[in-house]
Amino acid sequence: MPQIHGHCDERFAAVREAFERNFAERDELGAAVTVLVDGAPVADLWGGWADEARTRRWERETLVNIWSTTKGPTALCAHILADRGLLDLQAPVARYWPEFAAAGKESVLVRHLLSHRSGLAGLRQPHTLAELYDWELTCARLAATEPWWEPGTRSGYHAITYGFLVGEVVRRISGLLPGEFLRQEITGPLGIDFTIGLPEQDTYRVAELVQAKPARAAQAALLAQLEPVAVASLLNPATGRAVANTPEWRAAEIPAANGHGTARAVASLYGILAGRGSLEGRRILSREAAERVREGQGGCRDLVVGGGFAHETEIALGVWLSGPNRSYGPNPRAVGHDGAGGSCGLADPESGVALGYVMNRMGTGLADDPRKMALVEAVYAAL
């Protein structure tokens, strides 16, 4: 049992207990969790190991790839532009990205991109990792391809393409890729330790992603049953912990999946939504814009990941609603985003709660990892 570091308010002792049990009972290797209530930290804990060989301890400032938990901060970039009147979420994407109108996509709306309803869950033609790291090429192929289903009618999780689709709209308007836009507008001014991609000077403090062989086998069996659209979303190209540990992945701009940060940073970014657009006294979004982020776009069985949930799910404009699955606690209008293998960002404006959970031992699922759910349940039990 590793030593747990950090602080936890007495009222939230159950969070520390759940965090400790993750190590004792749920095969945690290295991890951190931060909980904010009304912007103030009530739990900020870390422990374990930053590498599989257990030669580096997880420290307060350890960074880790958080996979799709990155999508929430990427969506914030688009919502900032919308809040300033520079982006109309109801407008056709082609208004900002003319080439996107090809192959019958002239009626796809910006809100369809944000809610995984554009039909572009993945590319139809084979797309290599080297090609994925080429922003211009990936966006050009997305602009040229046809949708997998009628846009706007239902959701199909855009595992990797999401960041390029939303990110290219951000770039067309602002002239900046999402990573730099986020740095200038949010993380830099607020001192939030989060980047899309990993700066070379920070490689010394990044955790190694690890996945046990039984978990890899279970995941492979699950992926073998996927429909073509899900294969395109999740496996074209194939990523995973081995890829994410490479310098090439870390150096790339993949705004759907290669955000690197601490639990504290994730809690702060999702805390903007929990604070109805404000964090630490600084307004990032108007209250109206922050509320717009969690506007549900219609519940359905998602075409890519629907089989992994007990009920239909509903995606809002860049985040998932907690809904009947209680993925982000008992408030059905709480929102958040999970990353492959376990990480999570959560925002609940009604209770003022924000949570960030990051780890390096990847579980088998795409969402609702048992370690994350134990922490979420502990937070709400303490309120």
Q: What is the DSSP string of 113-145?
A: HHTT-SS-SS-SS---HHHHT-HHHHHHHHHHS
Confidence of residue 79 (pLDDT cuts 50, 70, 90): very high
- Report pLDDT for 230: 87
d(C-alpha 322, C-alpha 377), whole Å: 13
Inform me whether the pLDDT recorded for 286 exceeds 80. yes
Inform me whether the pLDDT recorded for 220 exceeds 70. no
- Report pLDDT for 224: 60
Grouping H, G, I as helix, E, B as strand and the rest as coil, residue 215 is helix
Which residue shows structure tokens 């209770």? 351
d(C-alpha 178, C-alpha 197), whole Å: 11
- Report pLDDT for 214: 67
d(C-alpha 327, C-alpha 195), whole Å: 25
- Report pLDDT for 222: 64
- DSSP bridge pairs for 272: none
**Mean per-residue pLDDT for 265-279?**
98
**4-8 and 40-48 beta bridge pairing:** antiparallel
- Report pLDDT for 223: 65
Give the mean pLDDT of the chain: 95
- DSSP bridge pairs for 49: 57
- Report pLDDT for 268: 98
Domain boundaries, the chain: 4-75+180-382
Any idea how long the chain is?
A: 383
Q: Each residue of 120-176: pLDDT tens digit?
A: 999 999 999 999 999 999 999 999 999 999 999 999 999 999 999 999 999 999 999
- Report pLDDT for 36: 98
Architecture of the domain whose range is 4-75+180-382: 3-Layer(aba) Sandwich (3.40)
- Report pLDDT for 219: 65
- Report pLDDT for 212: 74
Identify which of 264, 262, 239, 263 has the alpha carbon closest to the alpha carbon of residue 252.
239
Active site residue 286: no
Report whether the peptide linkage leading into residue 237 is cis, meaning its omega lies within 30 degrees of zero: yes
Query: Between the CA atoms of 284, 113, 312 and 83, what dihedral angle is there, to the nearest 10 degrees?
Result: 20
* Residue 351 Cα distances to 37, 201, 235, 328, angstroms: 8, 38, 37, 12
d(C-alpha 233, C-alpha 238), whole Å: 9
Eight-state DSSP code of residue 184? I
- Report pLDDT for 221: 65
Which residue shows structure tokens 């991890």? 31
Share of the chain above pLDDT 70, in %: 97
In which element (H, E) is residue 234 found? helix 228-235
Q: Each residue of 39-72: pLDDT tens digit?
A: 999 999 999 999 999 999 999 999 999 999 999 9
Strand locations in the chain, DSSP E? 4-8, 30-37, 40-48, 64-65, 194-196, 259-261, 278-279, 282-283, 320-321, 335-338, 344-348, 353-359
Inform me whether the pLDDT recorded for 213 exceeds 90. no
**Mean per-residue pLDDT for 325-347?**
96
- Report pLDDT for 307: 73
Identify which of 141, 92, 98, 86 has the alpha carbon closest to the alpha carbon of residue 118.
92
Eight-state DSSP code of residue 349? T
- 309 Cβ neighbours under 8 A, 6+ residues apart: 302, 325, 367, 368
Identify which of 217, 261, 206, 263 has the alpha carbon closest to the alpha carbon of residue 240.
217
The catalytically annotated residue of 68, 155, 233, 327 is 68
Inform me whether the pLDDT recorded for 308 exceeds 90. no
- Report pLDDT for 155: 95
d(C-alpha 115, C-alpha 106), whole Å: 17
- Report pLDDT for 247: 97
